[in-house]
Chains A and B, each alone.
Chain A
Amino acid sequence: MKNRSRENIFISLYQLFVEEHWFRMPMTTYKHMQRGIDKQKTWFSCLILVILLFCGCQKRPEEAQLERVNIAFQQWVGYGPLYLAQERGLFEEEGIDMVFLDEQLDSARRDAFKQGMLDCEAGTIDLLISKRSQDTPIVAVLEIDRSMGSDGIVATEDIKTVEDLKGKKVAFARDDVGETFISYLFHKKGLSLDDITIVPRKPDGAWLAFLEGEVDAAVTWEPWLSKATQRPGGHILISTREEPEIIIDTLNVRDDLVKDNPGLVKGLMRAWFKALKYCREHPVEASEIIAKYYDVTPEEYREQITGLKWFGYEEQIKEKEANQWFTTFNVISEIKFTNGRIPRKPNAAKAINRTLLEGLYEDSQ
């Protein structure tokens, strides 16, 4: 070694990379290198420097891309776990970049589904029926929740029974859940929608009409149902507590997605069940996350959700629930068709797909 001091930096670099086994090489090569070490050390170190410089200029590889899924739904407390799933990253865990879209109008959702731009929605069975009847390519894959008191009719003091509504001004959204509920009640009582004065409103507008005294009654749901009762004398005339089978929310997914990308849909479903599980295990934390999306306090939120029921995976795969979906679907189809709200009765077998639900955890991961 003739000039150690000058070669010191190169030697240490060389040792760092070769002798410290930063990368391995065959022993023969190593010995060979040892022999010609004087010259090679210098050149090797230069090479390493150049490589390092080039490496420093390179960009890091991009991370795995998530798949964008558009979801739209009306404001309804039963969909709260969707916000929770979004905030806790449950969709991302399934490789989904979930985009929540504000689309209150069912017709707009229908158009978007038809155009293939909207991927899924949370919605009631009656809306599924109307969309299916207009050839909207969507299918229900799981039950989101069941209204058991959260939907109802608010009415003035003098209206004590459903029959009392006759001749009154009632606000609700046409072709929406409200209409379905009141139609069903009237159907049971042998009344017709013609017996009342319908004041059509947007889904999120009916309760305000009642609160402001425009109408005598309004068909609405939580979070507005409780808010509407703040009108003096306002009370809940009847709610889904008495008629629990009629308003069922389902997760509806575009047909082609179910067909072409069942893995993605399953991921979506698993995220939902994960969110539900979290809500059950941590009700307080869950309510704290969700409540802010409804502009209520966690306590109020917990109060509101007493009027609905979420079914976990185990409950949903039961035969009884399957039958209930079909029953409700057919009952409402019948009423809607009779009332002339839909051009034809859609086929329940095509509108409901339980195969993904039943095989949800078969090929996960």
Chain B
Amino acid sequence: MKIANKINLSFSIVVVILVGIASFTFYTIAKTNLEKAIYAHLSTTAQSRANHIETHLEGVKARLEILTESNLIEDTVKKIIHNGPDSKESLQNLDLILRDFAKAEKEAYELFILNPDGKIIASTDERHIGADESGEAHFLGGKDEVYIRDAHYSESEEPEYSISAPIRDDYTKELLGILVGEIRMTYLNEITTDRTGLGKTGEIYIVNKYGYMITPSRFKEDTFLKQKVDTENCRMSVAKYPQTHTGHGSVDIFQDYRGVMVLGAHEDIPEMQWSLLAEIDEKEALAPLAVMKLIFIIIFCTIPAVIWTVGSLLSRIITAPIHKLHKGTEIIGEGNLDYKVGTDTKDEIGQLARAFDMMTSDLKGSTTSIDNLNKEIAERKQAEDTLRSTYEELENANHGLKEMQSQMVQSEKLASIGQLAAGVAHEMNTPIGFVASNFQTLESYVDKIKKLLGMYGELTNEIDTLGKSELLNKATAIGKSREDMKIDFVLEDIQELFDDSKEGLDRVTDIIQTLRDFSRIDRSGSLEKYDLNEGIKATLIVAQNEIKYDADVKTEFSELPRILCHSDQINQVLLNILVNAVQAINSRQREGMGAITIKTYAADSEVICEISDDGPGIDPDTLSKIFDPFFTTKSAGEGTGLGLSVSYDIIVHKHDGKLLAESTVDKGTKFTIKLPIAVKERNEKKEIKNDGKKNSIVCRR
């Protein structure tokens, strides 16, 4: 949905709802107030009319009562009763009185006097004299007290009501007769048909206790005792239940006897059991409301249209710059950075437009720098390529270096092996030498024995063929040869030769065993229990050849606990240090032999081996570098410079130990190897962990 429509719709809905609620509230309040006013007016009117009617009735009643109480009437009636039909004069008087009274009482239709038996003795209408009224209500009701007979038709079909009052003897209270006045409804009709303040449709009428109209209707003809009024207003005024009946009040809009909706009020006239009803048509009464309703409906209908129009204008004002902006973005999006939205408005959208324009110019500026940037990027890319190739070269170089390093380590190893081989060869030379010489001797001895054995063989073959002498000669010759060949000595010497050779071979075997122990050919790679003293001994044997011409080795072994380690690696370290020591001693021109002292002892948690020499010592500068790889003091080609570096790696990194060098120039150097007794498993683990990761020289081995 467009913003414009959204604004419009929300605007319209809110306004329509508000207007609706406001209209409804106003209408309801206005209606309530208007109705209240109408009810009040109707009630007041009904009340005043009812009062008027009551007063009128009271008046007529009172006048009749006064008449009955007058002595004139009393005496006249008495005379008539006592004298019977003879009292003509009295009857004439009575007629006169009645006529006079009737003249004064304009509404009176007929006045007559009944005797106690119910017969008319005097009347304003002579025709009725003598009629029997004993069965009539005005007679029966009027005997004891003043009685008002409800509205009814007179003889001549005229609406009337009648009031009867007893005429009594002043003293005896004896009933002398009954005065009956039949009164026309005209005055009551006048009161009810007075339309003052009732507008065009308002009316007031009286309903008797049976629910029938007794005064004229404004709208219908001939309603007297014929028009039944069974409306809510009338029902409210009927004293059906004395508890709830109030006698007066008003009724909300209801249907009247014509079926028209009206507003009404009612007022009782209790004496007559009449209800006076005041009603007005709803249409007329609530006409102002209808106008109001119309106005509200018009407002209700027009407001959305107005709102829609205003909303459309408003939203156009709001959305126009937005549209402009939108257009601008599209144009700029197509690449035209010179376009300017340009709006003068001071509101937020104006700000936005200006910011947008600023952004566009910034964008333009940055587009130029982007070109430069691109150039720079290209250059950097090139540099990066160069760098990459350099890196690759370096990588290759590194790789070569690593390979070289590995070769170097290999050659160091080979050097060790060379040393080892030289030592071993020398050691084995002596025993092998005399075993070889013994074999030469043995060979000659065996030849002699072979010769002798051949002679003996010939003799044996010729025993049968030759004679005794010949045999004897031959035997003598053989014995002589045996003596010549010193066979007896030979046999003795053979035993000695074998013993010597056996000793020589044992020594070779020992050396080979030592060599195996030293290099741990069979158990290489895993931790094993190791006696440092034994290791030193084996190393000394291996290094014998190197040492023996230059130095005396003095060992001071203490009893050591066995430790867990890679024995071949430790041996390699020992050999390395020893050989270094010998070479150091050798480098010092001296007369006698140098001295190497090897001392072992156990401290708290470690075994310690100190190897000291009395060589030239190392100056502090050099000392600090001796464990660096490739550092060497020897001339090129003589050493790899890796010996001590590897040793350091073995002791410190692989065994958690310490390798220390102390030196005093001209006095000598002391290397101390400290190995923990409880070589922890973690060493093993660490090694495994490091394996393959650390491109150390050691690992490559």
Contact = CB atoms under 8 A, between A and B. Distances in A.
Contacts of B16: 46
B372 interface: no
A244 interface: no
Given A53-B24, A108-B141, A117-B210, A68 B6 contact: no
B235 A202 contact: no
B149 interface: yes
A3 interface: yes
Contacts of A134: 135
A6 B9 CA distance: 11
Contact of B6 (A3, A98, A105, A112): A3
B24 A57 contact: yes
Contacts of A62: 255
Interface string A150-165: 0000000000000000
Contacts of A3: 1, 6
Contacts of B230: 67-68, 97
A49 to B, nearest CB: 7
B141 A105 contact: yes
A175 B137 contact: no
A174 B117 CA distance: 11
A205 interface: yes
Contact of B235 (A2, A68, A112): A68
Give the most central of A2, A111, A201: most B CB within 10 Å: A111
Nearest to B150: A108
Contact of B238 (A99, A105, A175): A99
A46 B13 contact: yes
Contacts of B141: 105, 108, 202
Nearest to A107: B137
Contacts of B150: 108
A118 B210 contact: yes
A70 interface: yes
A205 B175 CA distance: 16
Interface string B232-256: 0001001010000000000000010
A157 to B, nearest CB: 27
Interface in B120-153: 134-137, 140-141, 143-144, 149-150, 152-153
B149 A2 contact: no
B210 A53 contact: no
A174 B144 CA distance: 14
A97 B135 CA distance: 31
Nearest to B13: A46
A132 B69 CA distance: 38
A6 B211 contact: no
A19 interface: no
Given A111-B137, A174-B134, A101 B143 contact: no
Contacts of B208: 117
A202 B273 contact: no
Nearest to B234: A68
B608 to A, nearest CB: 82
Given A101-B209, A107-B140, A117 B235 contact: no
B579 interface: no
Contacts of B9: 42
A263 interface: no
A100 interface: yes
A53 B137 CA distance: 60
B430 interface: no
Contacts of A195: none
B321 interface: no
B24 A102 contact: no
B135 A117 contact: no
A351 B9 CA distance: 78
Interface string B241-277: 0000000000000010000000000000000010000
Interface in A49-70: 49-50, 53, 56-57, 62, 67-68, 70
In the complex, which range does the number of interface residues on chain A fall in?
Answer: 35 or more
A267 B235 CA distance: 21
Contacts of A86: 240
B212 interface: yes
Contacts of A67: 230
Given A99-B240, A107-B136, A117-B211, A6 B20 contact: no
Contacts of B225: 115, 117
A95 interface: no
Nearest to B116: A200
Interface string A127-141: 000100010000000
B212 A117 contact: yes
B211 A70 contact: yes
B13 to A, nearest CB: 7
Contacts of B32: none
A111 B150 CA distance: 10
B390 interface: no
Given A53-B20, A57-B24, A68-B230, A100 B240 contact: yes
Interface in B175-213: 208-212
Contacts of A42: 9
B11 to A, nearest CB: 13
Given A53-B20, A101-B209, A107-B140, A6 B134 contact: no
B140 A97 contact: no
A202 B140 contact: yes
B17 interface: yes
B298 to A, nearest CB: 16
Contacts of A68: 211, 228, 230, 235
Given A6-B10, A42-B9, A111-B152, A99 B140 contact: no
A100 B24 CA distance: 44
Interface string A173-191: 1110000000000000000
Interface string B22-61: 0010000000000000000000000000000000000000
Given A68-B230, A105-B140, A200-B143, A2 B134 contact: no
Interface of A: 2-3, 6, 42, 46, 49-50, 53, 56-57, 62, 67-68, 70, 86, 97-102, 105, 107-108, 111-112, 115, 117-118, 130, 134, 173-175, 200-202, 205
Given A107-B137, A115-B153, A115-B225, 4 more contacts: A68-B230, A101-B209, A107-B135, A174-B134
Interface of B: 1, 6, 9-10, 13, 16-17, 20, 24, 134-137, 140-141, 143-144, 149-150, 152-153, 208-212, 225, 228, 230, 235, 238, 240, 255, 273
The 7 A-B pairs with the shortest beta carbon distances in the complex, nearest first, are A117-B210, A108-B137, A107-B137, A68-B230, A105-B137, A117-B212, A70-B210
